[in-house]
């Protein structure tokens, strides 16, 4: 497994992004809420501070205020903290609702492949094919067509890096283990002998 992409220096927004200037009439907690919603994925405290154009201490204080506000709201959303990463997501316990809203045109086989990607967070397409068989090429095309995953060519190899897309995080806010559990429950419905594509020397 390759190392995660390095974070930008503290106080600088990620490459290709600009800091968000203060918006008149919008509090700092509300600005952070908007950033978390629009990014649709967990953000490290330093990255969030850089995008907001403020220092880490201000960001952390505003996040505490925002989390306390959500704790007293009658809402399905929450600000979830895991280490130094923060995300706007569905509250824990709403997995059944999410599962009922999964797109009906997503095959069970593709769902199980999506669960594999979610559990790994980031893996090579070649590794996924080893885990799921050459039929995974069809699943990848299906997931890319629905914009649930992203694919980026490996800089020093012939394969591709696969990861969950912002659309996935924004639509489902689903933890990897919830997705894996759903895939396991539906496994009985997966047709035996998934059609496989011919083996290839390199990923298409």
Q: Which two tokens stand for residue 152?
A: 């980026």
Residues facing residue 44 across a β-bridge = 85
DSSP for residue 8? P
182: pLDDT strictly greater than 70: no
Most confidently modeled range among 110-124, 161-175, 180-194: 110-124
Q: What is the DSSP string of 51-86?
A: HHTS-HHHHHHHHHHHHHHHHTS-SSEEEEEETTEE
Neighbour tally for 31: CB within 10 Å? 21
Q: Ramachandran region of residue 81, left (φ > 0), alpha (ψ -120 to 50) or beta?
A: beta
How is the beta sheet containing 77-82 ordered, strand by strand? 43-44, 85-90, 77-82
174: pLDDT strictly greater than 60: no
| Contact between 163 and 155 (Cβ < 8 Å) | no
Q: Do 96-189 and 1-91 fall under one CATH topology?
A: yes
80-107: average pLDDT? 72
* Residue 53: predicted pLDDT: 92
The whole-angstrom separation of Cα 89 and Cα 94 is: 10
122: pLDDT strictly greater than 70: yes
Where residue 152 falls among pLDDT bands split at 50, 70, 90?
very high
Q: Which two tokens stand for residue 119?
A: 């559990």
The whole-angstrom separation of Cα 1 and Cα 22 is: 39
Long-range contacts of 78-81 (CB under 8 A, 24+ apart): 79/33, 79/36, 80/42
| Contact between 181 and 99 (Cβ < 8 Å) | no
Q: Tokens 């190392």 label which residue? A: 3
**Comparing C-alpha atoms, which of 86, 89, 107 is closest to residue 98?**
89
Asked if CATH classification 1.10.1740.10 holds for the domain at 1-91, the reply, yes or no, is no
Where residue 191 falls among pLDDT bands split at 50, 70, 90?
very low
pLDDT top residue among 192 and 178: 178
* Residue 155: predicted pLDDT: 84
DSSP for residue 188? G
140-162: average pLDDT? 89
Break the chain into its structural domains and give their ranges: 1-91, 96-189
pLDDT top residue among 57 and 110: 57
* Residue 177: predicted pLDDT: 57
What is the per-residue pLDDT across 94-112, written as a single tens digit (0 to 9) for each? 656 655 665 546 777 788 8
pLDDT top residue among 105 and 149: 149
DSSP for residue 150? E
What is the per-residue pLDDT across 10-53, written as a single tens digit (0 to 9) for each? 445 555 455 555 566 689 999 999 998 888 778 999 999 999 99
Torsions phi, psi for 152 (to 5 deg): -135, 130
CATH class of this structure's domain 96-189: mainly alpha
């Amino acid at each position: 497994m390759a190392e995660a992409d390095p974070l930008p220096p503290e106080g600088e927004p990620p490459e290709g992004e600009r800091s968000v200037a203060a918006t008149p009439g919008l509090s700092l907690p509300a600005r952070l809420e908007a950033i978390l919603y629009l990014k649709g994925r967990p953000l490290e405290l330093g990255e969030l501070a850089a995008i907001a154009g403020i220092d880490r201490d201000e960001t952390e204080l505003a996040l505490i205020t925002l989390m306390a506000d959500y704790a007293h709201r009658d809402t399905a959303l929450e600000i979830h903290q895991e280490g130094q990463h923060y995300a706007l997501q569905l509250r824990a316990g709403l997995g059944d609702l999410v599962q009922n809203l999964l797109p009906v045109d997503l095959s069970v086989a593709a769902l199980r492949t999506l669960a594999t990607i979610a559990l790994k967070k980031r893996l090579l397409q070649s590794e996924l094919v080893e885990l799921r068989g050459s039929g995974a090429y069809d699943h990848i095309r299906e997931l890319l067509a629905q914009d649930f995953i992203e694919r980026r060519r490996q800089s020093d190899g012939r394969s591709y890096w696969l990861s969950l897309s912002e659309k996935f995080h924004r639509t489902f806010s689903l933890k990897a283990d919830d997705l894996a559990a759903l895939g396991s429950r539906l496994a009985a419905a997966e047709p035996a002998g998934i059609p496989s594509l011919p083996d290839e020397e390199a990923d298409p």
